[in-house]
Amino acid sequence: MKHKLLGSWEIKKTNTSSALKKFGISVTSIVLGLLFAGLFVLITGKDPLQLYGEILQSSVGSSYGFSETLVEMIPLAFCSLGVSLAFRMQLWNIGAEGQFYIGAFGASYFALFFSDLPKLIMLPLMVSAGFICGGLWALVPAIPKAFWNVNETISSLLLNYVAYFWMAYLVYGPWKDPKGNNFPLTKIFPDSATLPVFGNTRISYAIFLVVIIAVAIFLLIKYSKWGYEISVSGSSRKAADYAGMSYVKNVLMVMFLSGAISGIAGMAEVSGVLHRLQQTISPGYGYTAILIALLARLNPFSILLVSFLMGGLLVGGFSLQTSGFPSSMVSMFQGSILFFVLAGEVFNNYRLVRKKV
Amino acid sequence: MDLNYIIAILAAGVVAGTPILYASLGEVIAERAGILNLGVEGMMLVGAVSAFYVGTFTEDKWLGLFVALIAGGLMALIHAVITINFRASQVASGLALTIFGTGLSAYLGRSLVGIPPTSTFKAVAIPVLSQIPILGKIFFNQDIMVYLSIILVAILWFVFYKTKAGLLLRAVGENPSAVDALGHNIFLIRYVAVIVGGMLAGAGGAYLSLAYSPSWIENMSAGRGWIAVALVIFAVWDPRRALLGAWLFGVIASLGLHLQALGVMIPSNFLQMLPYIFTFVILVITTRETKHRRSGTPAALGIPYSREER
Supply the pLDDT for residue A78.
97
Q: Once rounded to an integer, what is the mean pLDDT over residues B93-107?
A: 95
Supply the pLDDT for residue A103.
97
**B139 min Cα distance to partner chain A (Å):** 29
Query: For residue A185, what are the β-bridge partners?
Result: A278
Question: Above 90 in pLDDT, residue A75?
Answer: yes
Closest CA to A279 of A195, A176, A202, A200: A176
CA-CA distances (angstroms) from residue B68 to A207, B72, B201? Answer: 44, 6, 9
Cα separation, B267 vs A304, in Å, equals: 40
Query: For residue A197, what are the β-bridge partners?
Result: A204
Question: Above 90 in pLDDT, residue A232?
Answer: no
Q: Which amino acid is at A207?
A: I
Q: Once rounded to an integer, what is the mean pLDDT over residues B177-183?
A: 88
Cα separation, B23 vs B40, in Å, equals: 7
Cross-chain Cβ contact B99/A287 below 8 Å: yes
Please, which pLDDT band fits residue A2 given cuts at 50, 70 and 90?
very low
Q: Once rounded to an integer, what is the mean pLDDT over residues A15-34?
A: 82
Q: Is A323 helix (H, G, I), strand (E, B) or coil?
A: helix
Range 124-183 of A in CB contact (< 8 A) with B = 144, 148-151, 153-155, 157-162, 165-166, 168-169, 172-173
Range in A202-206, A238-242, B194-198 with the lowest mean pLDDT: A238-242
CA-CA distances (angstroms) from residue A339 to A207, A210, A289, B85, B101? Answer: 30, 27, 15, 13, 12
Query: For residue A278, what are the β-bridge partners?
Result: A185
CB contact, 8 Å: A34 with chain B? no
The overall average pLDDT reported for chain B is: 91
Cross-chain Cβ contact B106/A332 below 8 Å: yes
* Interval A193-203: pLDDT, tens: 999 999 889 99
- Torsion angle of the four alpha carbons B53, B59, B62, B67, in this order, in degrees rounded to the nearest 10: -30
Is residue A350 within 8 A of residue A11, CB to CB? The reply is yes
Range in A47-51, A89-93, A206-210 with the lowest mean pLDDT: A47-51
Domain range summary for chain B, segments of one domain joined by +: 3-309
* Interval B108-155: pLDDT, tens: 999 898 888 888 898 888 888 888 888 888 888 889 999 999 999 999
Please, which pLDDT band fits residue A238 given cuts at 50, 70 and 90?
confident
Supply the pLDDT for residue A15.
58
Domain range summary for chain A, segments of one domain joined by +: 74-307
Please, which pLDDT band fits residue B71 given cuts at 50, 70 and 90?
very high
Is residue A234 within 8 A of residue A93, CB to CB? The reply is no
Q: Once rounded to an integer, what is the mean pLDDT over residues A287-298?
A: 92
Closest CA to A330 of A27, A45, A51, A74: A51
Question: Above 50 in pLDDT, residue A3?
Answer: no
The terminus-to-terminus CA distance of chain B in angstroms comes to 60
Supply the pLDDT for residue A36.
93
Cα separation, A288 vs A265, in Å, equals: 13
**CATH class for the domain made up of B3-309:** mainly alpha
Question: Above 80 in pLDDT, residue B168?
Answer: yes
Please, which pLDDT band fits residue A10 given cuts at 50, 70 and 90?
low
Angle between helical axes of A247-268 and A285-295 (0-180°, round to 10) = 120
Please spell the DSSP secondary structure of A214-283, one letter per residue.
Answer: HHHHHHHHHH-HHHHHHHHHHH-HHHHHHTT--HHHHHHHHHHHHHHHHHHHHHHIIIIIISS-BS---S
Mutation to test the A interface, candidates B99, B110, B287, most A Cβ within 10 Å = B99
Cα separation, B178 vs A210, in Å, equals: 50
Supply the pLDDT for residue A241.
79
CB contact, 8 Å: A42 with chain B? no
Q: What residues in A contact B184, CB-CB < 8 Å?
A: none
Q: ipTM, 2 decimals? A: 0.90
DSSP A322: G
Cα separation, B215 vs B196, in Å, equals: 25
Mutation to test the B interface, candidates A1, A93, A147, A157, most B Cβ within 10 Å = A157
CA A276, A314, B50: angle at the middle one, nearest 5? 110
Surface-to-core class of residue A179, CB atoms within 10 Å of its CB (0-12 exposed, 13-18 middle, 19+ buried): exposed
Q: Once rounded to an integer, what is the mean pLDDT over residues B68-86?
A: 96
Question: Above 70 in pLDDT, residue A13?
Answer: no
For A171, other C-beta atoms within 10 Å of its C-beta total: 23
pTM summary value: 0.91
Supply the pLDDT for residue B308.
64
Q: What residues in B contact A332, CB-CB < 8 Å?
A: 100, 102-104, 106-107
